[in-house]
A and B are shown apart, each in its own frame.
Chain A
Amino acid sequence: TPTCEPETPLCCRRDHYVDFQDLGWRDWILQPEGYQLNYCSGQCPSHLAGSPGIAASFHSAVFSLLKANNPWPLGTSCCVPTARRPLSLLYLNRDGNVVKADVPDMVVEACGCS
């Protein structure tokens, strides 16, 4: 997936690094110091519809060609996450205990057109 540049109109991944210091949460989140809050943004014209970003395959390429040559678009397609990974957090809970939790699907790694 291309990372979004200001002039990128097509479906891409917009990266934002969030430092827990900026949230004022460094007193209870011990590790890590921050995380990537990425999200997907951009247009999905018909010839890109169903193209799963980095997970593209020969099948999806042919499928895209068929769609691009089809004069009747199959309805709208959205720019959505196609690959995500978990985030491990070490934090203090309300009892002052240290908790290590793995939060699933926390970081968007790739975007694609639905």
Chain B
Amino acid sequence: QETRSVCPSCGGPTLAPQAERALVLELAKQQILEGLHLTGRPRITNPPPQAALSRALQRLQQGSVASTKGEEVISFATTTDSSTSTCSSMLTFHLSTPRSHQLSHARLWLHVLPTLPGTLHLKIFRWGTRRRHRGSGTFLAEHHIPSPGWHALTLPSSGLRGEESRVLRLQLDCSPLEGNSTAAGQAQRLLDTEGNQRPFLELKTRPNEQGAGRVRRR
């Protein structure tokens, strides 16, 4: 500590510049972790591929809304097992919505390959992860996809809430729209579920009202 100059606030000796810098960096760490409600910096075990990440961010940039009180989350499908049919798949996502927040908006982004022969009829089911629910799917939504490329499919946020598990499994069941016989025989994959065009969930959460009310009263 330098003795020649005095801290204008507390009258104590001021810190040497390096010591002040080290203190500021420590303060920054605390301030950011507190602001994000984290106890420590996250250890990233499986970061998404850079190309997939920047593509997803570009998509969301187009429709980005003004800053909200809540959070916006992009979650990439981690494992997908495409069943034998041309495009039915099981998508698995790892989500950890903080208890103080609830889901208010959900969209599943899918990239349909150019092999699409016509309009695709897609049904989306939520697959139970608990032992007693395993093997049973809860219907979430159905969509018609008329063209190849990226599509954002709205999901009912109520259907995605609830389970404590951090793993979310979505079963995609798709079939060419009736009357389109050519597609039935084709064996190409219609959905791009790996690589940089893998599916991702776009979620928006907002603070729980009752929680916020309690804070206000206190």
Contact = CB atoms under 8 A, between A and B. Distances in A.
A25 B41 contact: yes
Contact of A94 (B7, B28, B43, B74): B43
Contacts of A79: 9
B28 A23 contact: yes
Nearest to A90: B57
Given A87-B35, A103-B36, A23 B25 contact: yes
A35 B36 CA distance: 15
A18 B9 contact: no
Interface in A1-38: 6, 8-10, 16, 18, 22-23, 25, 27-30, 35, 37
Contact of A93 (B8, B42, B72): B42
Interface string B1-39: 000010111000000000000001101110110011000
A43 B44 contact: no
A47 B209 CA distance: 43
A101 B71 contact: yes
B53 interface: yes
A86 B32 CA distance: 12
B9 A28 contact: no
A95 B166 contact: yes
Interface residues of B, number: 38
Nearest to B14: A6
A95 to B, nearest CB: 4
Interface string A84-109: 00111111111111111111101000
B101 to A, nearest CB: 10
Given A93-B42, A96-B94, A41 B8 contact: yes
B67 A89 contact: no
Contact of B56 (A28, A35, A89, A98): A98
Contacts of A6: 5
Nearest to A44: B9
B175 to A, nearest CB: 31
B73 interface: yes
A80 to B, nearest CB: 11
Given A37-B28, A103-B35, 20 more contacts: A6-B5, A23-B28, A25-B32, A35-B28, A41-B8, A43-B9, A88-B67, A89-B32, A90-B57, A92-B47, A94-B45, A94-B96, A95-B94, A96-B45, A96-B48, A97-B74, A97-B96, A98-B48, A102-B67, A102-B68
17 contacts: A10-B8, A23-B25, A23-B28, A37-B28, A92-B42, A92-B47, A93-B73, A94-B96, A95-B75, A95-B94, A95-B95, A96-B44, A97-B73, A97-B94, A101-B35, A103-B36, A104-B35
Interface of A: 6, 8-10, 16, 18, 22-23, 25, 27-30, 35, 37, 41-43, 79, 86-104, 106
